Structure 1
Amino acid sequence: MCIYKYGSVAMSFEAHSLTVPSVMWLGLFPSDLQRLRVPKSSLLPLTRTDECKLSSLLKRPYLASQPGWQKELELMQQSKVKAEIQSLADIAPDFLTSIYLPNKLRYGGWL
């Protein structure tokens, strides 16, 4: 997500032509996990690599302009779990397409 919006450090010399500044985070948020009661068996523990990436992301200067992202990343760091969007199928097989995404789109549930 950050690479799409801000570009990568390695490609910073071409960032202006490779980014999509208007991109929004629509997917599953760490705060959704408890609110939706996603089964714990669907959650994945953060790996050491995940933890290092989270720490790195939280230090990036542009995150200050994205307080919603920062809050979600900090929540993930505290909970030490992650979820794939497919984990919503453990709530109900059609939960993603019938409830989750339509509600996010209808009520502006993106960052």
Structure 2
Amino acid sequence: MSGDTIRVVFTTPQGGTVQAEAAPGDNLLRVGQAKGLPLEGTCEGQMACSTCHVIVDPDWFHRLQPASEEEEDMLDFAAGACRTSRLSCQIDLAAELDGLAVRVPAESHDMRRT
């Protein structure tokens, strides 16, 4: 890995693995969408929906910046939300997140694909 690449491992709703590379400052929602994952992001990162909900691996959850109160409120509407849930639109990637592992919940459905 070069110093300017961040690796992210997504687990799909079906249990498969998708690996992605991103640059520092990239947004997790956009990285996942670019890999074809069902992360709708209806509000385009404005925190007005929960369609980009992911479940962060517990080993990585504490390394993220804490969720804002607004994000916590939106997560209340996310299907399948749990203790390590986050909105992918609120996760900006940085070097210390190299290797980040997240799961796209089984309840995810991307309306852009119907």
TM-score (norm 1): 0.28
Higher helix share: 1
* TM-score (norm. length: structure 2): 0.28
Q: More strand per residue: 1 or 2?
A: 2
- Answer 1 or 2: higher relative contact order, Cα 8 Å, separation at least 6: 2
